[in-house]
Structure 1
Amino acid sequence: MDKWDSTPIIRFFGGRNLLYILGIILFVGVNIMVYTEVSFIFGPFIVFLETIALPVILTVVAYYLLRPIIGLLQRFGIKRIWGILITLVVVAGMITLLLILIIPFLEKQFMSLAEELPQYLMEMADSIDQWLRNSMFAGYYDNLFKDVGGLAEQLPEDLSSYASSTIEGITNFISTLTSVIIAIVTLPFILFYLLKDGEKLPNMILRIMPPKVRPEVSSVFKGIDHQLSAYIQGQIIVSFCIGVMMYIGFVIIGLDYALLLAAIASVTSVVPYLGPTIAIMPALVIAIVTSPFMVLKLAFVWTAVQLLEGKFISPQIMGKSLHIHPVTIIFVLLTAGHLFGVIGIILAIPGYAILKVLVVHLFYWYQLRYNRHIEEKYQYKLPK
């Protein structure tokens, strides 16, 4: 018997496996404590990551969208370099045409909606106020606003804090806008070289690895590549379909700002489950102000689009490639949004998919090593 398993207490708690687990926990805790104390060392590295994060994210998305087109052109006998140039020129032309034809109309609708939205909100608030005063909740509603006079005395202080927050928000907006402009300017250059040499990158990394682990690392790269490709390409197509269906539905029911609201729904649908719910809010405000019947028609359109997307479009386009339960997706989105904000929400699902690939492969390697160890120790072959 192993000396670590000699005492009954240690055997009861799992033998030397318990000591291994406690040692690992202690090692992780010490590392966290040390790195927390010297966190200032990582400041330049964090700034570097924040600087390159947006260009890299945009480039990776564009890479997975354009890679199938480049491969198709190669199958028709066009050299890769010429296929990349042709694709980039065509995409640039389509974006320019989009900016010339559609963006001005969307801008006009957006400015009009921005001017009328306060009035919409005031009318909606008045409608809700009248309904509450004439409902069974009238007594509770009146008691809720008895102390409005006391709140009014704090209004100057609140306005001062809001003003400082507004100034800080404007500064952050300018900084974000600068980062977005830099990312857009650098995107074509990074994308060109990624499309040109992106297929060689995994092999370059594999050459650095020991020959013994190259097959396993290669399988990890293939798994990550498959997950990212399936998610990005599928989600973009699904979001476009949602935008088109929303626009058709809004036009049929006669909702104002149909194209703008459909465009918002298409963009926010990149985030599963939460995106469509967020996108319906401005349309709901307009529908409430328009008429109660418009709210019913909007609910019908939104439900129909969600059913079509969930039952027919997503299963056909994305299939079951991610194998992530809807409840897991919601928890991942909420956690990532709380930790990293909007960027975290956007990157939550592909990040979780990559992490899942890594964990699955690590567990598989652990099983192989553990089974090999048991096989050598007891000198019998494990059943398949």
Structure 2
Amino acid sequence: KIRIPKALGIAITYIIIIAIISGLFAIVIPPLIEETTKLFQTLPPNLDYLLSIVAVDKSVLQNQLTELSKNIFSITLTVFDNILTIIFLLVLTFYLLLERQSLENRIASFFIGRQERVKGLIIQIEEKLGGWFRGQFFLSLVIGTLSYIGLLILGVPYALPLAVVAGVMEVVPVIGPIISAIPSILIALTISPLLGLAVAVMYFVIQQLENHLIVPQVMKRAVGINPLFVILAIAVGSRLLGFAGALLAVPIAVVIQIIVAEIIEEKNI
């Protein structure tokens, strides 16, 4: 058997993942760019029509856009900072994977006489959190696909970029689906009020399916916790810490469940 160095193995895994994502982008990006370009080209007349419907003073909107343009530098810095954060997390993850065994041993060394049990606990947590990440990615694909199919059926233009927004915003609990629905509804309103209502109903149905069926079932399979527990965890997390609490609710609940189960098992022994 050929023994591949650990660092090389992790690097190859990264390359394969990046290649797969790049391949998917190569398929999706060209039509996405085309539809997005058309969307921005039709924004001025559509915006005038929408303003006439909702009776918004155009001068007020222009003033708000002027204020927004003044903050464009800080917005650019924020975007750049987020990109650097993603790169930092990728590099950090690489080194954590590289030193995984060493880190496990160091953490376990603090629990004299229970090193093996602690190592087993760490492995369980790693596996469950990995399942959570995979589940979250799968949820984005499902919601994006459902949104795309729904928008196509209703005949809403620019379905692909709007569906991509829905898939990306899926990672933002509670408010993500609401934010992703707004541009679709506004575009539908430029065609007819009835279509705007239909799109709003479609997103509402998808959100209800997501909250009460898709998320609980996917997370049950991904991390092995009760669907009701998932719903309660997200509700409590969002109430206590808002967006951050809702985002981290499931992984924190997973860690708590594993630790509590370990404590109960140890007491029974």
State whether TM-score is above 0.5: yes
User: 1:276, CA displacement in angstroms?
Assistant: 1.3
**Equivalent position to 1:287, from 158, 177, 188:** 188
**Cα distance 1:332–1:351, how it changes in 2: closer, same or farther (>3 A)?**
closer
Q: Distance in 1 between matches of 2:3 and 2:135?
A: 26
Mapped pair 1:333 → 2:238: yes
Q: Distance in 1 between matches of 2:203 and 2:81?
A: 35
Aligned residue in 2 for 1:123:
49
Residue identity over aligned pairs, in percent, reads 27
User: 1:233, CA displacement in angstroms?
Assistant: 1.6
Deviations 1:139-174 (A, max 9, x none): xxxxxx9xx9xxx9xx8xx95x9867643x323223
Q: Distance in 2 between matches of 1:163 and 1:124?
A: 19
- One-letter amino acid of the structure 1 residue matched with residue 100 of structure 2: G
**Cα distance 1:301–1:219, how it changes in 2: closer, same or farther (>3 A)?**
same
**Equivalent position to 1:254, from 147, 155, 171:** 155
Preserved contact between residue 238 and residue 246 of structure 2 (Cα < 8 Å): yes
Aligned residue in 2 for 1:133:
none
Mapped pair 1:107 → 2:107: no
Preserved contact between residue 135 and residue 218 of structure 2 (Cα < 8 Å): yes
Q: Distance in 2 between matches of 1:80 and 1:313?
A: 40
Q: Distance in 1 between matches of 2:245 and 2:233?
A: 15
Mapped pair 1:321 → 2:219: no
Deviations 1:43-80 (A, max 9, x none): xxxxxxxxxxxxxxxxxxxxxxxxxxxxxxxxx99857
**Equivalent position to 1:225, from 117, 120, 126:** 126
Mapped pair 1:305 → 2:206: yes
Q: Distance in 2 between matches of 1:359 and 1:96?
A: 37
Aligned residue in 2 for 1:132:
none
**Cα distance 1:229–1:281, how it changes in 2: closer, same or farther (>3 A)?**
same
User: 1:252, CA displacement in angstroms?
Assistant: 1.5
SS state of the match for residue 260, structure 1?
helix
**Cα distance 1:80–1:264, how it changes in 2: closer, same or farther (>3 A)?**
farther
Q: Distance in 2 between matches of 1:273 and 1:78?
A: 46
Preserved contact between residue 224 and residue 357 of structure 1 (Cα < 8 Å): yes
Preserved contact between residue 227 and residue 350 of structure 1 (Cα < 8 Å): no
Q: TM-score, normalised by structure 2?
A: 0.72
SS state of the match for residue 156, structure 2?
coil
Aligned residue in 2 for 1:354:
252
Preserved contact between residue 146 and residue 206 of structure 2 (Cα < 8 Å): yes
Preserved contact between residue 171 and residue 247 of structure 2 (Cα < 8 Å): no
Deviations 1:191-225 (A, max 9, x none): 43333333542222222x14056577557645643
Aligned residue in 1 for 2:172:
271
Preserved contact between residue 216 and residue 230 of structure 2 (Cα < 8 Å): no
Segment of structure 1 superposing worse, 261-270 or 316-325? 316-325
Q: Distance in 2 between matches of 1:294 and 1:199?
A: 56
**Cα distance 1:289–1:314, how it changes in 2: closer, same or farther (>3 A)?**
same
Aligned residue in 1 for 2:107:
205
User: 1:297, CA displacement in angstroms?
Assistant: 3.3
Preserved contact between residue 332 and residue 348 of structure 1 (Cα < 8 Å): yes
Q: Distance in 2 between matches of 1:307 and 1:164?
A: 36
User: 1:304, CA displacement in angstroms?
Assistant: 4.3
Q: Where do residues 85-104 of structure 1 align in structure 2 (5 Å cutoff)?
A: 85-104=11-30
Over the residues paired in the alignment, what is the CA RMSD in angstroms? 4.3
User: 1:117, CA displacement in angstroms?
Assistant: 3.5
SS state of the match for residue 171, structure 2?
coil
User: 1:360, CA displacement in angstroms?
Assistant: 9.1
Q: Which has the larger Rg? A: 1
Q: Distance in 2 between matches of 1:202 and 1:258?
A: 46
**Cα distance 1:252–1:360, how it changes in 2: closer, same or farther (>3 A)?**
closer
**Cα distance 1:312–1:87, how it changes in 2: closer, same or farther (>3 A)?**
same
Q: Distance in 1 between matches of 2:150 and 2:40?
A: 22
Preserved contact between residue 287 and residue 298 of structure 1 (Cα < 8 Å): yes
Q: Distance in 2 between matches of 1:361 and 1:232?
A: 20
Aligned residue in 1 for 2:84:
182
Q: Distance in 2 between matches of 1:109 and 1:275?
A: 22
Gap runs ≥5 in structure 1: 1-75, 130-144, 338-344, 372-384
Gap runs ≥5 in structure 2: none
Preserved contact between residue 224 and residue 354 of structure 1 (Cα < 8 Å): no
SS state of the match for residue 145, structure 2?
helix
User: 1:281, CA displacement in angstroms?
Assistant: 0.7
SS state of the match for residue 271, structure 1?
coil
User: 1:89, CA displacement in angstroms?
Assistant: 2.3
User: 1:91, CA displacement in angstroms?
Assistant: 1.9
User: 1:284, CA displacement in angstroms?
Assistant: 0.7
Q: Distance in 1 between matches of 2:155 and 2:65?
A: 38
